[in-house]
Structure 1
Amino acid sequence: MEITWYGHSCFRLTERGMATVITDPFDHSAVGYFPLKLKGDIVTCSHTAPGHSYFTAVKGEPYVITGPGEFEIGGVFITGVQTNGVHKKASENEQIRNTLYLIQFEELNIVHLGDMDRVPTQSQVESLGDVHVLLIPVGGGTGLNAAKAAEIISLLEPRIVVPMHYGVPECKIDLDPLAKFLKAMGLKEVETQPSLKIANAKALPEETQVVVLDYKS
């Protein structure tokens, strides 16, 4: 399968003969980066915000998932798990809830944490099972900061970690740079790559590996 990052929390997950999944499509006028031009069969949304739920950026008629539940579409199994409140609405005292997603392509389990901002509960951890690829916010703001991200990684023990939701020159949101997360992980530099390709579960590294993706324009 192939995982491509488009900036912020937006990824495209593809596998031959299976549905294509788009996560957290954003409105570039609010977030920055480049305008999204995507096609997909499924769209997952962690919470309602311009940076995470701009569905018109995905062409066609995708199946949109906006909260917890279990779904099977085009051979892909998706489990949405509600977590913490992300932040309060400007005009109300109500917290906007975050949903993380376990996305299963046959034997590969990918977890997208959305805008999670705290360590998950034991029951949430157990509901995920073996995490092969973890897509995790690391830049603070309304999501995890570097220290909390590192703590969650040690808790979930994924095979591959892909950081997201951090500060880059094209991002309009004030977020910490990637270097802060790499330092928390005990790494100096990680060579970026255009996408993450995984042949099968047997090709996964035995020890946790951080993979930094270039965002696609």
Structure 2
Amino acid sequence: MTTLTQSLRAAAAFVGLCLLLPAAAAEPESCPGLIALREALFSWAAMRQDEVGLTFVGHATFMIETPQGVRIATDYNDGTRPPITPDVATMNKAHSTHFSYHPDSGIKHVLRGWNPAGGPAYHDLTVEDVRIRNVSTNIRSFGGATEYDGNSIFVFETAQLCIAHLGHLHHTLTPEHLKKLGRIDVLLVPVDGGYTLETFDMMEVLRAINAPLMIPMHFFGPSTLNRFLDSAREHFAVEFSNTAAITLSRATMPKSPKILVLPGH
């Protein structure tokens, strides 16, 4: 085959790919406002390699690191903190292990999952290559009454992934909650079985969201975790990671829903 023929075929293949791109861009995306989807089409080969870092720091705190280096700490608090100051910290108010009275002054964006003035909190901001938004839910007060809008499910959209942190969720989700969440690829799940939701109710939440990858958090040792996993195995595959830090990408999401346990608690 001549060099000219090879060049012509390569050019034809490139044109063919370009002709396909508008159709791909027009497809509906159930995760609202996915960051940089259009830009991804112009650097298709590079975007296939985009990865998001996820590290389980402990309790309900994860460090999320985006392709452009934005660091986010979930349920940031005064007792369990990542070793590096994040750019963004999200918090919830059910207990002091989910928020900080004195967040590090170096954090650029501190997002509280409740509104101190009353009513639901509302967050929807873009930091570099990540969009961060919340879906408000309720919590139980110490006396057992319902405290409306005391918790937020935070959703992080980056590298064509939608990662949701359920926070200190105290009830199952309504169709309206699920609609606001949209498509979720990675779900960070409290599995204590009582402080948040009973295991049976949490299974209902997991089946309703139907994320490809679910990662347990908010457990207090092996017995609590194993009680959750015994129930979860009736519905989902369960795997264990050797490390607390993993990389995520849209291309490597499981084909069917799976629970991945990271070391720590």
TM-score by length of 1: 0.82
> Map of 1:194-205 to 2, 5 A cutoff?
194=243, 195-198=245-248, 200-205=249-254
Task: In structure 2, give the amino acid aligned to 1:180.
Answer: R
Q: Distance in 2 between matches of 1:71 and 1:211?
A: 29
The answer to which of 130-139 and 46-55 deviates more is: 46-55
The equivalent residue for 1:215 is 264
Q: Distance in 1 between matches of 2:84 and 2:212?
A: 27
Q: 1:7 to 1:145 in 2, by over 3 A?
A: farther
Structure 1 or 2: more helix by fraction: 2
Task: Give the unaligned 5+ runs of structure 2.
Answer: 1-51, 114-121
Q: Distance in 2 between matches of 1:93 and 1:134?
A: 27
Larger radius of gyration: 2
> Map of 1:54-203 to 2, 5 A cutoff?
54=100, 56=102, 58=104, 60-67=106-113, 68-84=122-138, 86-89=139-142, 95=147, 97-168=150-221, 177-186=224-233, 190-194=239-243, 195-198=245-248, 200-203=249-252
> Map of 1:2-81 to 2, 5 A cutoff?
2-28=53-79, 36-47=82-93, 49-54=95-100, 56=102, 58=104, 60-67=106-113, 68-81=122-135
Q: Distance in 1 between matches of 2:140 and 2:124?
A: 25
For the aligned residues, what is the CA RMSD? 2.5
Size of the aligned set, in residue pairs, is 202
Task: In structure 1, give the amino acid aligned to 2:68.
Answer: G
Q: Distance in 2 between matches of 1:61 and 1:2?
A: 19
Q: Deviations over 1:83-116 (max 9, x none)?
A: 11x23157x9772711111111130000000000
Task: Give the unaligned 5+ runs of structure 1.
Answer: 29-33, 170-175
Q: SS where residue 64 of structure 1 aligns? A: strand
Q: 1:55 to 1:62 in 2, by over 3 A?
A: farther
Q: SS where residue 226 of structure 2 aligns? A: helix
- Report sequence identity in percent: 23
Task: In structure 1, give the amino acid aligned to 2:100.
Answer: Y
Q: 1:103 to 1:36 in 2, by over 3 A?
A: closer
Q: Distance in 2 between matches of 1:161 and 1:78?
A: 19
Task: In structure 2, give the amino acid aligned to 1:61.
Answer: I
Q: Distance in 2 between matches of 1:202 and 1:125?
A: 24
Say if 1:20 and 1:41, in contact at 8 Å, map to a contact too.
Answer: yes
The equivalent residue for 1:173 is none
Q: Distance in 2 between matches of 1:47 and 1:138?
A: 18
Say if 1:167 and 1:178, in contact at 8 Å, map to a contact too.
Answer: yes
Q: Distance in 2 between matches of 1:208 and 1:143?
A: 22
Q: 1:112 to 1:38 in 2, by over 3 A?
A: same
Task: In structure 1, give the amino acid aligned to 2:257.
Answer: T
Q: SS where residue 38 of structure 1 aligns? A: coil
